[in-house]
Structure 1
Amino acid sequence: MKPSLLVLIPLSDESRTHIAASFEVSYAPTHEARKEAIATEGAQIRAVLTNGTTGLTAPEIDAMPALEFVSALGAGYENIATDHARARGIVLANGAGTNDDCVADHAMALLLAVVRDVPQRDRATREGIWRDALPMRPSVSGKRLGVIGLGNIGRKVARRAAGFDIEVAYHNRKPREGATWRYFADVNELARWSDYLVVATPGGPSTHHLINRDVLEALGPKGFLVNVSRGSVVDTAALAHALSHGVIAGAGLDVYEGEPQPPQALLPLTNVVLTPHVAGTSPESTGASVDNFITNATRHFAGEDVLTPI
């Protein structure tokens, strides 16, 4: 008999079919469906698939007495009650490494788009405006990039930046063993050194509003910010003020506080490029994430250790 699995996040038909070959799937990607599934099927559920944004609460865990395995599809897991799950002996896993390349690619795309003002130039071209009527934009190459959070994604952003002859430094809770880039223990000092800041740190209480008014002022009027981590890491009010008052030059954001709605204060601004939390999604990355989940869950139910534990 296949283990029962509760899926709390949207998945394509192809992904659901792939997972259903190994598990008895209850699909509940909306709040209403989630509540009903836990109420009616909670006693039988042995595994849950979620993500960092959707999470899984302690009361929900308690409503599933047979639950023994919880996985985030991607790398993030900030809204999963991990301590509560561990206290129950539940095995936790995530999709670390499955979408790193996609996120790093998107971070560079946002940086290029906002520095070179690609969305506004596209609009101007469609309106018949020629280059002579537009202010010149700075080059991307030959500058300084500060990476906030030197995990797998941060490292890949740094390597991509090297292709643009960009000097890289980073901030982390502590220096990364083996990292050859310059380390800054203080975020403000890194921002002051940088032309660009790319945020690739995990979300959660420890990084809430890590990028605040002081950091943005240190980045300065020629500086650009890119966030591909979690919306909570950036103080939205401080960013809106910085963008509208020339404190920084521009920003590229894939994540926001209050998702799925983007902050209203940012929408009228032309010096910010916005995408709807898609940095980690592509056919390739989604396929890899689903395969990783199936491998981890199959190993768990076979009595083996998972490959990417939380």
Structure 2
Amino acid sequence: MRGKPGNNASSTGTLSSYTYTKHTLERSLKPEAMELIRCRHLNIQTIHVKAIELVSFNEAENRLTTKKVIGQELFHTLWNPTNLLGRLQGHRLQNPDTLVSRITEIGTWLRKYHDSSAGLTLEGADGSWLATEFAQKIREIRASNLIPELKLKKVEQKYNAELQKLTAPNYLALNNAFPCQIHGDFVLYNVLVDSQQNMHTLGFSKTRVSSNLEDVARFYSTLWAIAQTSRTRHNLFHELPARFLKAYGLRPLIAESAYFQANLVYNFLAHLEAQHRGRKTFSWNTNREMSQITRAGMKWIYQQI
């Protein structure tokens, strides 16, 4: 299985005619299994969007089996038909209006998912995960010399002060956010599109209690970056990020708030570091894809500082 930003490269998967079985020695898959059970039990789905269906979980062997979905990752559904190499390979963008509508509906599904645990989280739950991970990402980028030190210091200075507010009472509420059970790695690679253009969310291995806007900003950031990579993609997809936010129940202007932008900065930095970490194992085409997304994100960061 090809590695992607945010994926655990140590996990292995086996496909059968009807199922996909995942196994890893790195972490317990029980939280992921329990979250899929919760989604099914609470019927967390919309007409065309739902979580992948859990078939079984063997805790002793740490094996999680889900129903096989015949389709492709949402990222490649958007990407492959909109570049020359993909078109030469025969990829075509099927029913673009329907696709845009279904991606917008993901925003509706995500809000339903977050609302299902809002108010049920542990007392004192906040979004401080982001502050810790942001500091760690800065250390990794500095150690690998991926960004000139002067610019890296400007990024730290601009966003550290905001992130330190995450533990303050009512910070999330004042920023149109709330603590809940989140997906934790809500990226386009973790959504599969089937032949009817239904959406199936998977990859709940990083599920945790944190701020709902972490999931929202993660998904938004890649949608936005894709639309910046070519004129064709801009024409097709530039309205998608705002439509996704509206379907979630947020005004598009939230993307200009300090907290939301801090999330975007973290996501773009994480993409940069993931590309560097996997550059020797990713294929040439994967590196090329990631480079275009990374450039769009880093250009945005430099404009902010």
Q: Shorter-chain TM-score category?
A: under 0.3
| Rg (Cα) greater in structure | 1
Higher relative contact order (CA 8 A, sep 6+): 2
TM-score, reference length from structure 2: 0.26
